[in-house]
A = this chain, B = another copy of it.
Amino acid sequence: MGQPGLVAVDWGTTSLRGALLDGTGRVLEEKSAPLGILNVPDSDFAGVFSAQFAEWRTSGRLCLMSGMIGSRQGWREAPYAPCPAGLADVAQRLRWIEPGRVAIVPGLSIEQDGVPDVMRGEEVQIFGALRLTGLSDGQFVLPGTHSKWVTVRGGKVVGFRTFMTGEVYGLLTQHSILARTTEAGAPLDEGKFLEGVGRARHGSGLLHEAFGARALALFERLPPPQSASYLSGLLIGDELRAQALGGDVVLIGAPALTMRYALALRHAGVATRTLGTEATWAGLMALHAAMGGPT
């Protein structure tokens, strides 16, 4: 496996991030570039990879990459590992670019009631969260453009659902009739946000409740900055409505988003803990360990 440590790469749709980790998983160096898979000139992934990470790969140190780099639009397609899937399952399905040296981590797929679901990159964050928290069971939420709610049992992902929450928020606040009366970038108004979360429980559905934001604005009862918080609450509340909430929830992601889920879940009586981007590096390190490298 070359010298100890790992070159850990998170190569997504819009950005490329990397970390040089020592044998214990400690971050020695980090870098990032706006070179997501859709922004790589001529799809020259090998060229970008070499330019960014050659200096870290002395003596052939192992490199593991996760994210959309393994999709059909990426460097090499890494077919999804079917759930239930743990670290060992993923390790067996690595897509090697240079045998024993550079590999892409596959995403996960699942079939539930006749419809599939998929993730790419989040699986590594979850394995990282397990390593960082010491948990082997639990419910994990990864907010974002496409939020993921994930159930883990015995260290394996046994179920997950994707929600188009972030994307629909963007569409409604920028391209719908609500754009006229919503200030999408306004700071969070916690009261209005929780009002939206609560409203989502009424049972009339998102398509109706979103129009309520329009009607409230017509009667000057919802100023544009508060409209953004109310809509955000409606959408996240709609996600919550679909969950069987049990024990604590682990949130993984950027603080601006995880903070909203923490508020909404606390409002529903659910305790949360939050992890950030460190989960990705921890997950790739855990995978390295599962492959026989240092733990």
Residue tally, chain A, CB below 8 Å to B:
41
Task: Knowing A239-B205, A241-B205 are in contact, say whether A215-B118 is a contact too (CB < 8 A).
Answer: yes
Q: Assess whether A208 is in contact with B161, with CB atoms less than 8 Å apart.
A: yes
* Stretch of A24-32, A136-144, A170-178, A257-265 on the interface side: A170-178
Pick the residue among B164, B204, B207, B219 that contacts A211 (CB under 8 A). B164
Chain B CB within 10 A, most for which of A210, A238, A242 = A242
A145-160 contacts to B (CB < 8 Å): 146
Q: Assess whether B216 is in contact with A116, with CB atoms less than 8 Å apart.
A: yes
User: What are the residues of chain B within 8 A of A146 when measuring CB–CB?
Assistant: 177, 211
A235 nearest in chain B by CB position? B207
CB distance from A168 to the nearest CB of B (A): 6
Q: Does A95 contact B (CB under 8 A)?
A: no
A217-260 contacts to B (CB < 8 Å): 218-219, 221, 235, 238-239, 241-242
Q: Assess whether A205 is in contact with B242, with CB atoms less than 8 Å apart.
A: yes
Cα(A118)–Cα(B213), bound, Å: 11
Cα(A219)–Cα(B238), bound, Å: 27
Cα(A277)–Cα(B179), bound, Å: 30
A168 nearest in chain B by CB position? B207
Q: Assess whether A164 is in contact with B215, with CB atoms less than 8 Å apart.
A: no
Q: Does A192 contact B (CB under 8 A)?
A: no
A-B contact pairs, 29 of them (CB 8 A): A109-B215, A115-B199, A115-B212, A115-B215, A116-B212, A116-B215, A116-B218, A116-B219, A116-B221, A117-B215, A118-B218, A161-B204, A162-B211, A163-B205, A163-B207, A163-B208, A164-B177, A164-B211, A168-B168, A168-B176, A171-B172, A171-B175, A203-B242, A205-B206, A205-B241, A206-B206, A207-B238, A207-B239, A208-B242
